[in-house]
Structure 1
Amino acid sequence: MQTGHVTTPFGRRPMSLALVRGQIAIENPQPDMRVAKWKVFRDVCEARERLGIQDRALAVLDALLTFHPHAELDPSQGLVVFPSNAQLSVRAHGITETTLRRQLAALVDASLILRRDSPNGKRYAHRNRDGEVEQAYGFDLTPLLARSTELALMAQDVAAERTRFRRAKEALTICRRDVRKLISAAVEEGATGNWEHAESEYVSILARLPRCPNLAQVEFTLYEMELLREEVLNILETQLKTENVHGNAVHNACHIQNSNTESINELEPRSEKEQGESLAKEPLTRNEPNGRSKTKPEPIKAFPLGMVLRACPQIADYGPGGHIEHWRELLRAAVVVRSMLGVSPSAYEEACNAMGPENAAVAVACILERSNFISSAGGYLRDLTRRAERGEFSLGPMLMALMKANDQGNRRIA
């Protein structure tokens, strides 16, 4: 058997540097190295897509292995098989000769077999007086033996990725079901909340998922759906806690459009002095004895998204793909940053109630920019919320100050 050197094909078949590189990369196996030929074949079948071969190429490889008389690939027993195209076609389930030639070339390009062409291009073997093969010309199965460990690891990796893909799809199915049924239950039972927005987010997340997604696309959709499920559960949990404290006589503070709300219990740790000061500054929003209630200040006007991103560039790192192009992506990024900074869901919902969801997201982005100088992000956001409820807070000066600081920093760097 001719191994250990580069061979060129017979006739019109061209020789390429890729074939040379592939033959050089395949080292001669150790004399005592053996592997079950059908185990290697199963590994090749498992890693078919990564090897870049079709199912018909597997049928041809299966036929080639049947011409090897032993159950194991053993260098001492010879690894060159020399069937004719007619014999190969029969054992490959009647594959046409044109297809057979194309699939044999694909197996060679994938470095699974090597050509050992004779001087006239025919496949045959020289035997000694005892009938043993001394020299054979045909297809060399040595690459299967030399790459057996690599092919086994590749097959295990493909199987693990397939399992991960299946479990990601299962998790996405369960998460979709949870979000769908939670929103439906909230709407049917009249729970307070912006459920139209939640429904539109649910639809848009699924619309971005391709019909035949890959693993990365499924995992990213699962991440977005889990964020939406967390927000829906936060709204429902906050409402249930409020009902337990205040009973059914008050409205849920999580409803962004409700103008007659009550402050809910704070989750951030605070001192008694801070609690006394906050109560003294807390605006009166309950109904007066004469039946009239104080009017809530007008909501803060939203600023252009470009201005916000110029003043708060760090928030873009938490958007989908590391950038933000729409307000919806800013709102989603603010939810992630809110959790990272330790701001409780109730504090963020109160900010949305007082400022509007867009401006609450902008406030979180501003806090992120100054996080090194703020000891309690949750307490700071609550303070901004109370000032907004009294009509004493505007995002404009904060954004202008951050833009000025960023512009000065850029000039110093330049």
Structure 2
Amino acid sequence: MQTHTATTPFGRRPMSLGMIASQVAAQSAAPDATVHKWHVFRDIKEARLALGASDRALAILDALLSFHPETALYGDSALIVWPSNEMLTGRANGMSPATLRRHLANLVECGLIVRRDSPNGKRYARKGQGGEVEQAYGFDLSPIVARANEFKELAEAMRAEKKAYKLVKERLTICRRDIVKMIEAGIEEGVPGNWGGVHLEYQAIVGRLPRTAPRQVLEAIATELDDLWTQIRDVLESFVKSQNLNANESQTKRHIQNSNTESKNESERGLGTKKEKSGSPGESDNLRSLPKRELPLGIVLDACPNLLWLVKGGGGIRNWRDFLTAADLARPVLGISPSAWEDARVALGEQQAAITIAAIYQKSDHIKSPGGYLRNLTERAKEGKFSTWPMIMALLRAKLDAAKAAGAGVTEAEGELGAAQRLDRTQKRLEVSDNLRKSINKWDRET
């Protein structure tokens, strides 16, 4: 008896070119082709993302394969299985009927199975007199055999992609670790360089790294980090070589000394010869005449308003705790190493060290190496030759002088009234009392 193979779906499900393509692929299986169904299923699981199959759909495919009695699938054999929805649900861990239908449709769309629907949409098999199946309606597993090589290639490609993704993640992790530690080493060892700028560049690159990104994005960011790594490594290696060369020269020519103390790139430990108003040896006598009380927070903020820029949320600095938090934020921006910061806090005290950081941040444009400057001030503090009062007073004096210069520079066209108003607004922003002005003038006379 001649039978007809169903090619269209039952009911309202439409026919599509994708279904026809899947049916053509199922018919292209070589008659002598033989595959191990579980080996092919393993390849399909590896390549599921490339195929577009969901996890639940693969659980249903696993159940469908289990209904075929043979482990080996042959290209010239009937590969139709006809389990009911109840049986499929049982083997698919109790999946709901609606979910089952949705993921069966996903398997059909991916070309992993072909529907062979009966006239009434039921799944069953008609057997002959000898018990052999003459006609079956259900799900055709022929694509598993016909596309076995394709699934294997896709699985190998996905495994290679996963390996490449893992390697680039490892590369990123190691590169980030190396860069951070090399920057810290450069700061700690006093290697000349703009380490604060390098750290900001590193943060800018890492800041573009999304939480989940494809391998191509990670490769691009890793390449940028590699370039930065190479630059930092070259600087450190050049410094090491120069140190070794200088050590060898000093053994034979000890009378040759480097007198260039104003190098553009001064290291942290090489700034001991730099004299500032806040820490010169001539000021040690004047330190005895400074007020014994602590600097008020309002005066410090008047002298160091730039620190307010680092406070997030616009909450401002309301107390010393907020001030210490802002100082902790300013420290890495200036490129000051954790060890230099810790030494300063031990020598000066946490509050005085924070005031020093704020002052350095205020005039960072005029300080070539903030880390070396802080170490210099820390050493002077250990000798009792440094106080934050002169530094803050100097900043306030510079601010007042700038305000007076702005008022004196008003042109006649602006009028005396406009100049007076501008000067008045400037002085109000400074919020400096008469007593503080007297203290500043007294300090200037003494120094």
Please tell me the residue identity of whatever aligns with 2:80: V
Q: For residues 250 and 38 of structure 1, do their structure 2 counterparts lie closer, same or farther at Cα, with a shift above 3 Å needed?
A: farther
Q: For residues 105 and 242 of structure 1, do their structure 2 counterparts lie closer, same or farther at Cα, with a shift above 3 Å needed?
A: same
Correspondence list, 1:257-406, <5 A: 257=265
Q: For residues 143 and 252 of structure 1, do their structure 2 counterparts lie closer, same or farther at Cα, with a shift above 3 Å needed?
A: farther
Aligned partners of 2:102, 2:92: CA distance in 1, in Å? 13
Q: For residues 4 and 197 of structure 1, do their structure 2 counterparts lie closer, same or farther at Cα, with a shift above 3 Å needed?
A: farther
Quote the residue 1:90 is aligned against.
90
Quote the residue 1:281 is aligned against.
none
Question: Equivalent pairs: percent with the same residue?
Answer: 48
- The Cα offsets for residues 300-337 of structure 1, whole Å up to 9 and x where unpaired, read as xxxxxxxxxxxxxxxxxxxxxxxxxxxxxxxxxxxxxx
Please tell me the residue identity of whatever aligns with 1:100: L
Aligned partners of 2:244, 2:28: CA distance in 1, in Å? 76
Please tell me the residue identity of whatever aligns with 2:130: D
Secondary structure of the residue aligned to 1:115 is strand
Aligned partners of 1:197, 1:145: CA distance in 2, in Å? 60
Please tell me the residue identity of whatever aligns with 1:144: I
Which runs of 5 or more structure 1 residues have no equivalent in the other structure? 259-414
Aligned partners of 1:183, 1:139: CA distance in 2, in Å? 63
Pairwise CA distance, 1:221: 1.4
Larger relative CO (CA 8 A, sep 6+): 1 or 2?
2
Q: Does 1:41 align with 2:38?
A: no
Quote the residue 2:79 is aligned against.
79
Aligned partners of 1:60, 1:41: CA distance in 2, in Å? 12
Pairwise CA distance, 1:146: 0.2
Which runs of 5 or more structure 2 residues have no equivalent in the other structure? 251-256, 267-447
Aligned partners of 1:7, 1:252: CA distance in 2, in Å? 89
Q: Does 1:210 align with 2:185?
A: no
Quote the residue 2:127 is aligned against.
127
Pairwise CA distance, 1:243: 2.5
Q: Does 1:112 align with 2:112?
A: yes
- The Cα offsets for residues 89-132 of structure 1, whole Å up to 9 and x where unpaired, read as 10111000000000000000000000001111111111111211
- The Cα offsets for residues 140-182 of structure 1, whole Å up to 9 and x where unpaired, read as 0001110000001100110111011111111111111111101
Quote the residue 1:220 is aligned against.
220
Pairwise CA distance, 1:257: 4.2
Aligned partners of 1:84, 1:115: CA distance in 2, in Å? 14
Secondary structure of the residue aligned to 1:137 is strand
Quote the residue 2:312 is aligned against.
none
Q: For residues 246 and 97 of structure 1, do their structure 2 counterparts lie closer, same or farther at Cα, with a shift above 3 Å needed?
A: same
Pairwise CA RMSD: 2.5
Aligned partners of 2:84, 2:6: CA distance in 1, in Å? 23
Report if the CA contact (8 A) 1:9-1:15 is conserved.
Answer: yes
Pairwise CA distance, 1:25: 4.1
Report if the CA contact (8 A) 1:239-1:252 is conserved.
Answer: no
Q: Does 1:15 align with 2:15?
A: yes
Pairwise CA distance, 1:17: 2.3
Q: Does 1:182 align with 2:178?
A: no
Q: Which moved more, 1:71-80 or 1:203-212?
A: 71-80
Pairwise CA distance, 1:251: 8.9
Secondary structure of the residue aligned to 1:181 is helix
TM-score by length of 1: 0.59
Secondary structure of the residue aligned to 1:70 is coil
Aligned partners of 1:157, 1:215: CA distance in 2, in Å? 14
Please tell me the residue identity of whatever aligns with 1:131: G
TM-score by length of 2: 0.54
Please tell me the residue identity of whatever aligns with 2:61: L
Q: Does 1:245 align with 2:245?
A: yes
Q: For residues 3 and 186 of structure 1, do their structure 2 counterparts lie closer, same or farther at Cα, with a shift above 3 Å needed?
A: farther
Please tell me the residue identity of whatever aligns with 1:108: V
Aligned partners of 1:9, 1:144: CA distance in 2, in Å? 20
Quote the residue 2:229 is aligned against.
229
- The Cα offsets for residues 339-370 of structure 1, whole Å up to 9 and x where unpaired, read as xxxxxxxxxxxxxxxxxxxxxxxxxxxxxxxx
Please tell me the residue identity of whatever aligns with 1:217: V
Larger radius of gyration: 2
Aligned partners of 2:46, 2:34: CA distance in 1, in Å? 21
- The Cα offsets for residues 359-401 of structure 1, whole Å up to 9 and x where unpaired, read as xxxxxxxxxxxxxxxxxxxxxxxxxxxxxxxxxxxxxxxxxxx
Aligned partners of 1:232, 1:251: CA distance in 2, in Å? 27
- The Cα offsets for residues 199-224 of structure 1, whole Å up to 9 and x where unpaired, read as 01111111011011221111111111
- The Cα offsets for residues 253-306 of structure 1, whole Å up to 9 and x where unpaired, read as 9x7546xxxxxxxxxxxxxxxxxxxxxxxxxxxxxxxxxxxxxxxxxxxxxxxx
Report if the CA contact (8 A) 2:172-2:222 is conserved.
Answer: yes
Pairwise CA distance, 1:20: 2.1
Quote the residue 2:193 is aligned against.
193
Report if the CA contact (8 A) 2:30-2:76 is conserved.
Answer: no
Report if the CA contact (8 A) 2:29-2:75 is conserved.
Answer: yes
Aligned partners of 1:90, 1:6: CA distance in 2, in Å? 27
Secondary structure of the residue aligned to 2:174 is helix
Pairwise CA distance, 1:244: 2.9
Aligned partners of 1:20, 1:3: CA distance in 2, in Å? 20
Pairwise CA distance, 1:60: 0.4
Please tell me the residue identity of whatever aligns with 2:70: H
Please tell me the residue identity of whatever aligns with 1:173: T
Report if the CA contact (8 A) 1:35-1:73 is conserved.
Answer: yes
Secondary structure of the residue aligned to 2:7 is coil
Secondary structure of the residue aligned to 2:129 is coil
Pairwise CA distance, 1:246: 3.6
Aligned partners of 1:220, 1:117: CA distance in 2, in Å? 50
Q: For residues 197 and 251 of structure 1, do their structure 2 counterparts lie closer, same or farther at Cα, with a shift above 3 Å needed?
A: farther
| Count of residue pairs brought into register by the alignment | 257
Aligned partners of 2:181, 2:228: CA distance in 1, in Å? 13
Aligned partners of 1:198, 1:179: CA distance in 2, in Å? 10
Please tell me the residue identity of whatever aligns with 1:126: R
Pairwise CA distance, 1:6: 7.5
Secondary structure of the residue aligned to 1:126 is strand
Aligned partners of 1:243, 1:134: CA distance in 2, in Å? 90
Q: For residues 239 and 250 of structure 1, do their structure 2 counterparts lie closer, same or farther at Cα, with a shift above 3 Å needed?
A: farther
